[in-house]
Chain A
């Protein structure tokens, strides 16, 4: 007969007790992640090593064919097009993240220094675009960028684009659409950091003779680094996989990573190859994040 035990917080637990406590507290989350994250990821990895069936679907045997194709050894001879697509998508994600950062940094400082009365309203304004669907917002840009619309005419008068022609499809249109879509993801985490900022550090730096740049660099930047990092990741990752905006505002002329993956699961019916592209893209992003995190941890400020 097991003896009746009473447990107190902080009490030394047996190994079994520790496990059961861990199971209760983090079990549901672990289970969730296991079923909806780890398992599908493992499936993608497994499928990427399988063979495409003649009519689609996946079959044995295991092969490296998909990865060979991805490296450029295709049906029509060697062609480095997939690395090009991958690089282009990463560049689009990076450009979007950098532009968002440039736009969000002053905005976050501005909102954080507003009086309490206006802060809520300002944050609501940042979030309001989310109330409409992404597709509607993107189509709206198509209309604004059409020939003879006021925005197009205004841009022409500034020397952007050719008079009488639409501003889309083009890189400018794609970047505009991307920045507008992802800006809130950068503003909100940045604002959270700026809001908590300890301004006395800036004053101290200034008192000690730092110029404005050095105040920002050594007293402010380390404080907003966590928000900046979170915002950068929140923008960079989905922007890299984004293909609706490049299609609609870029005229579907250039393939992005998302397009190529989607193509494998739709018209080409090649799940192994689609999975291989997704797996490699994921790997690259994870490596990038690891590097980013290492760099980030150096930017610590003394309390």
Chain B
């Protein structure tokens, strides 16, 4: 028996070792895509369709704001993900830090589906690093009250005489301060201290009259729960609220507001670059694009997808604003060192 033991051991080792080999082989066979994206920002059915078509597994990690995404990527997470979804103003920041991989356009034939405005945008000329994913606006979600006109101006937040009932502010520095800047007729990218001080004072006064700050989804939920009458939200939440409760409506104030484009990008250290580009191409497909916007209730940058989008959505000015409204919308730029002004203004707003 004694002689057999080492033999048995060797046998056992071989079995264990081959098991490891097989496990490794199985893993290599089924590739994975690691997606880092906003919560509730992709239709789970699109994900499973992609998994099925390319026989892969999609791991999804979620974030609630893009800045946290960037912080995680900068803080050593660069190799953890393949695809991220930066907003227009974050794209130059990520580009300058060499965090993004240039796109190989030959792998993304569906690029031709992009609408004219989204081809070679100002923040990424020739679409070297990004393709547009969804776009939207910042505006007011208001509850209709019988016998009272709906607010059409930021004044319902910033002017106590024109109040339209209790209101919520958005817990996002650039969007909230941007609204105050627009109300005063300034650019949302102002770096002039006097303009920012005035915007700060407006926000501090508004804060004391408000129900409080919350993220876009939180504001929407509080208006649906009737904790507040008016609030600042992104267009997607605005439109979703209108579906849930027909007594609410989404308005882009007449003074103008913020417009944004979220983009798909592949990280420079992406472990699965080929699959990532396949994913970008998949999302740019006309039918998938339509399905995506039907889910998010944001606007599609995909011109070809419009053919498959419900006419009711296309005609909804809360999703696709009229050209004369779009003219008053402004993109947020990255302000480099001057971002510190906004940081300080925001801390002051939150401290007073």
Contacts and interface: CB of A to CB of B under 8 A. Distances in A.
A binds B: yes
Interface string B206-235: 010011111000000000010100000000
B346 interface: yes
B350 A259 contact: yes
Interface in B41-87: 65, 67-68, 70-71, 74
Interface string A169-185: 10000000000000000
A54 B93 CA distance: 9
A84 B347 CA distance: 11
B228 to A, nearest CB: 10
A69 B341 CA distance: 12
Given A252-B171, A253-B350, A74 B344 contact: yes
Given A56-B93, A76-B345, A253-B213, A265 B350 contact: no
A81 B347 contact: yes
B343 A253 contact: no
B212 A252 contact: yes
B223 to A, nearest CB: 14
B351 A76 contact: no
Contact of B343 (A84, A147, A264): A264
Contact of A57 (B68, B97, B207, B351): B97
Contact of B65 (A52, A55, A84, A266): A266
Interface string A243-256: 00000001111110
A265 B341 CA distance: 16
Interface in B169-203: 171-174, 193, 196-197
B97 A56 contact: yes
B124 to A, nearest CB: 15
Interface stretch (B103-111, B131-139, B331-339): B331-339
Nearest to A262: B68
Contacts of B172: 267
B340 interface: yes
A242 interface: no
B96 interface: yes
A267 B335 CA distance: 12
Given A56-B93, A252-B214, A254-B350, A76 B344 contact: yes
B348 interface: yes
A270 B97 CA distance: 15
Interface string A51-90: 0101111000000000000000011100101101100100
Contacts of B337: 52, 54
B336 A55 contact: yes
Contact of A255 (B174, B193, B336, B351): B351
A51 to B, nearest CB: 10
Most chain A CB inside 10 Å of its own CB: which residue of B67, B193, B197, B212:
B212
Contacts of A101: none
Interface size class of B (residues with CB under 8 A): 35 or more
Contacts of A266: 65, 67-68, 71
Given A56-B74, A76-B197, A76-B344, A267 B227 contact: no
Interface string B261-305: 000000000000000000000000000000000000000000000
Nearest to A256: B350
Contacts of A79: 344, 348
B340 A75 contact: yes
A164 B212 CA distance: 18
B212 A75 contact: no
A263 to B, nearest CB: 7
A146 interface: yes
A267 B336 contact: no
B221 to A, nearest CB: 10
Nearest to A249: B212
Contacts of B341: 75-76
Contacts of B214: 251-252
9 contacts: A54-B337, A57-B74, A75-B344, A79-B348, A85-B347, A252-B214, A253-B213, A267-B173, A268-B339
Lowest 8 A-B CB distances belong to which pairs?
Answer: A251-B212, A255-B350, A252-B213, A268-B343, A266-B67, A267-B67, A54-B336, A55-B93
Interface of A: 52, 54-57, 74-76, 79, 81-82, 84-85, 88, 146-147, 166, 169, 250-255, 259-260, 263-270, 273
